[in-house]
Amino acid sequence: MNNFVKFQCDLDNFIQTLTIMLEKNNNKIETLLQLKSKTYANFVKKMELIDDALEIFFTPLSHLNAVKNSEKTQKVYSDALPIITEYSTKLSQNIDLYNAYKEIYKNEAKSLNYEQLRVLELNIQSFELSGAHLDKKTKTRLQEINIQLSEFSNTFSQNLLDATNAYEKIITSKADLEGLPQSEVDAAKFEENGITKYKFTLQMPSYIAYMTYGANARIREELYKAYTTRSPQNEQIIDKILKLKYEMAKLLGFDSYAEYSLASKMAKDTSNVLDFLNKLVVNSKSQAKREIQEVQELTSKALQSFDTAYYSELLKKKKYDIDEELYRPYFEQTSVLKGMFDFLYKLFGIEFKAVEEKLWDEKASSYDLYVEDKLTARIYFDLEARKSKRGGAWMHNYQTHHTDEKGKTILASAFVVCNFPSSDDTTPSLLRHDDVVTLFHEMGHAIHHLLSEVNENEVSGVNGVEWDAVEFPSQFLENFAYEPKVLKMFAKHYKTGEVISDTMIQKLVKSKNFLSASAMLRQLEFSIFDFKLHSQLIQGEEVQNLLDTIRKDTALIQTPAYNKFQNGFAHIFAGGYAAGYYSYKWAEVLSADAFYSVVDEGIFNSSTAKKYLEIILKGGGAKSMSELFVELMKREPDPDNLLRLNGIDS
């Protein structure tokens, strides 16, 4: 009998149930604090289980608000946020809890295992980073800040979703569809009053299609402008978020939010991060300039931001004789998913078995994971774009592998969410290769959480993993989406069943690092902007001025003045990446290094892959990733492998 909770969310009674639950939790915690002799078993373990039960209850609401967004989910989620934030902030600042953890650490450090010690160490650090040791007035202000930040982040995200959904570009002239593949034309087509029209939106599959293939520069600019000027009201929210985060950092004794952020990451200090990023800029810039010059040669007009995707696609076809559209019939969504399962079975011995259960959407699905015939975890997929779903792709952990106070093993579960082209009764969901890479990426996150064998849930799966290391497993897995051996497992034409040819694979592999230095510079622009933005208090026009200054060094095509990228930078203003966007590149050093070790050993039957499963995936966050990486590779990470992966000459 498995112990997976049934996915359900009673929106009508959610706030009432949450309030009762939190009241009970507070009473349980007060009772625990009365214990005269506190131990890991009678205190810390029970605290862990209280937190876990609340997470299990709250996660379906946050998930629904992201994938099945409605006025009702918005209202309930908005009402719940300040309640849950106030509760968690008060706990994180409770001096009695802080002292209890320190006392248990002092008394039991020699008798506890490394998982339990890690739980204590991270909790003590978390209490200190929450201001548990500070005076009452300061703690009250920190509590107010946390509530406001959670509300502003939610508003930022909702504004972005609303703005994305509000825009439509209706085309009536077939001449304006020039350059677009037939599948994209069919996807945009609709009938109105007996007239055939074509609709393009700011949702990723639709937006990318026109920006990549649409020959009409005027429409490309119109779409680009609409996309880069979304949710202007977020400008004021950004100021409020930055001001609050700066104040919070100062109250906690840090010079900046960036410094505060690094206290729980692998990177040592702010100069360590900026030196790392700036070195990559230097290594990438000359190659990026050559790449952009090649694109520029395709047009007599000065290259504009809304031109790059279109002319880059033309150059890609010219250089590699590769047409992305010809690949999509080989990447039918269901086939790719099954093929990825086959690959994971061959690499790690993970078997996936479909589960019949009613979920939040008819296109969502679930699977049980078995390792060596043993039920290990459950995964939920929701892969297609729709209006009610937040853009992007992500993994969200649900249940976490651990043992409860009676020694019973609780299994893990997680969601993988993407925004792939929608399917219907006549048209399957055909993916771009970039979509395949995205699926592998999110699956890397998922198996990191799902395959954990750690017994303490606060450091199991992705819990307890440093933020600048959390992308390591996702990036590691996504790299295999370019490997010929792996592609042959699932790239089959959805109509004929024909396996993708060696010639097509060679073109795809050769084009992998097409404009890679330019892409590297763009990611570095985001990372440096984020980190510097949080390194001092920046407000109003200073935000745009900072971005413009960074772009002088990283943007090889002048960005239009109307481009307000920051108003849509959800990763740092509505996600967990504030002063941490650099983590993508930081973790990519680890992932590239481990990936090449597996590839050089032939992929399947690789000893490094087996060790990766045992050390990284099963190890969760019970040890620092810097420690786990050395355990895996028997050495420190080699940064040159990041440049090798991106085809950049150092």
146-202, pLDDT tens digit by residue?
999 999 999 999 999 999 999 999 999 999 999 999 989 999 999 999 999 999 999
CB atoms within 10 A of CB 213: 21
How large a percentage of the chain has pLDDT more than 70? 100
Can you tell me the mean pLDDT for 39-53? Answer: 97
240 occurs within a structural domain: no
User: Two tokens at 479?
Assistant: 């790299």
Helix (H, G, I), strand (E, B) or coil at 556: coil
> Across residues 564-584, what is the average pLDDT?
96
Residue 533 to residues 119, 160, 546, Cα–Cα distance (Å): 32, 20, 8
Q: What is the mean pLDDT of residues 561-566?
A: 97
Residue 243 covered by a domain: no
Q: Name the pTM for this structure.
A: 0.91
Comparing C-alpha atoms, which of 427, 436, 385 is closest to residue 204?
385
Q: Specify whether 377 is located in the same domain as 488.
A: yes
Which residue, of 503, 523, 550, is where some domain finishes? 503
Name residue 361's amino acid: D
Q: What is the dihedral of CA 445, 448, 451, 452, to 10 degrees?
A: -140
Within a domain: residue 22? yes
Both 186 and 265 in one domain: the answer is: no
Could you give the CA distance from residue 173 to residue 168 in angstroms, rounded to a whole number?
16
The CATH code of the domain that includes 457 is 1.10.1370.40
For residue 574, give the amino acid letter: A
Task: Please indicate, yes or no, whether residues 348 and 474 belong to a single structural domain of this protein.
Answer: yes
- Phi, psi values for residue 396, rounded to 5°: -125, 120
How far apart, in whole angstroms, are the C-alpha atoms of residue 537 and residue 243? Answer: 7
Question: CB atoms < 10 A from the CB of 406, how many?
Answer: 5
Task: Please give the pLDDT value at position 650.
Answer: 66
Could you tell me the CATH number of the domain that includes residue 614? 1.10.1370.10
User: What is the arithmetic mean of pLDDT over 496-511?
Assistant: 95
Q: Are residues 411 and 527 in the same domain?
A: no
H helices then E strands: how many in the chain?
26, 10
| Residue 49 within a domain | yes
What pLDDT score does 649 carry? 82
518 and 393 in a common domain: no
Residue 515 burial class via C-beta count within 10 angstroms: exposed 0-12, middle 13-18, buried 19 and up: buried
Q: How far apart are CA 143 and CA 91, in angstroms?
A: 10
Residue 381 has pLDDT above 80, yes or no: yes
Residue 198 CB neighbours (<10 A): 21
Whole-number average pLDDT of the chain? 96
> Do 195 and 264 sit in the same domain of this protein?
no
Q: Which of 462, 478, 503 is the last residue of a domain?
A: 503
Check whether residue 190 and residue 115 sit in a common domain.
no
Same domain, 259 and 311: yes
Does residue 246 belong to any structural domain of this protein? no
User: Residue 314: exposed, middle, or buried by beta-carbon count in 10 A (0-12, 13-18, 19+)?
Assistant: middle
The reply to whether 311 and 441 lie within a common domain is no
Query: What is the SS3 assignment for 216?
Result: coil
What CATH number should be reported for the domain holding residue 118?
Answer: 1.20.1050
497 plus 521 within the same structural domain: no
- Number of domains comprising the chain: 4
Last residue of a domain, one of 120, 143, 159: 159
Residue 198 placed within a domain? yes
Bridge-based pairing state of the strands 412-420 and 374-384: parallel
Neighbours of 415 (CB within 10 A): 24
Chain centroid to Cα 357, Å, comes to 26
Residue 209, token pair as written in the block: 């299609």
**Locate tokens 């967990």: which residue?**
576
CB distance 416 to 443 below 8 Å: yes
pLDDT of amino acid 427: 87
* Mean pLDDT in residue range 384-390: 93
Asked if residue 360 lies in contact with residue 67, where contact means CB atoms within 8 angstroms, the answer is yes
Predicted pLDDT at 412: 98
The yes-or-no answer on residue 324 being catalytic is no
Total residues found in the chain within this entry: 650
Domain contains 285: yes
3-state secondary structure 379-435: EEEEEECCCCCCCCCEEEECCCCEECCCCCEECEEEEEEEEECCCCCCCCCECCHHH
Q: What is the pLDDT of residues 450-502, one digit of tens each?
A: 999 999 999 999 999 999 999 999 999 999 999 999 999 999 999 999 999 99
pLDDT above 90 (res 267): yes
DSSP assignment string, 347-378: HH-EEEEEE----SSTT-EEEEEEETTEEEEE
Residue 433: which domain range? 329-503
Number of neighbouring beta carbons within 10 Å of residue 381:
21
Q: Are residues 348 and 282 in the same domain?
A: no
State whether 392 and 267 are in the same domain: no
Distance of CA 614 to the CA centre of its chain: 24
* Average of per-residue pLDDT across 24-44: 98
Question: 508: pLDDT confidence band, cut at 50, 70 and 90?
Answer: very high
Measured CA to CA, the distance from residue 148 to residue 337 in angstroms comes to 40
DSSP state of 305: T
- Between the alpha carbon of residue 575 and those of residues 156, 227, 241, 544, the distances in Å are 10, 19, 12, 20
In a domain? residue 247? no
List, for residues 82-136, the tens digit of each pLDDT value: 999 999 999 999 999 999 999 999 999 999 999 999 999 999 999 999 999 999 9
pLDDT > 90? residue 308:
yes
Residue in 10, 62, 149 with CA at minimum distance from that of residue 396: 62
Q: Which residues pair with 379 in a beta bridge?
A: 367, 414
The contacts found for 31-35 with CB under 8 angstroms, 24 or more apart, are 33/96, 33/97, 33/100
Which has the closest alpha carbon to 260: 130, 366, 115?
Answer: 130
Pick the catalytic residue: 291, 313, 442, 456? 442
* Phi, psi (rounded to 5 degrees) for 645: -60, -35
SS3 170: strand
First to last CA, the chain: 54
What per-residue confidence (pLDDT) applies to 481? Answer: 97
pLDDT over 60 (residue 26): yes
- Give the CB-side neighbour count of residue 596, counting CA atoms within 13 A: 15
Are 549 and 575 in contact by the 8 Å Cβ rule? The answer is no
Q: Is the pLDDT of residue 1 over 70?
A: no
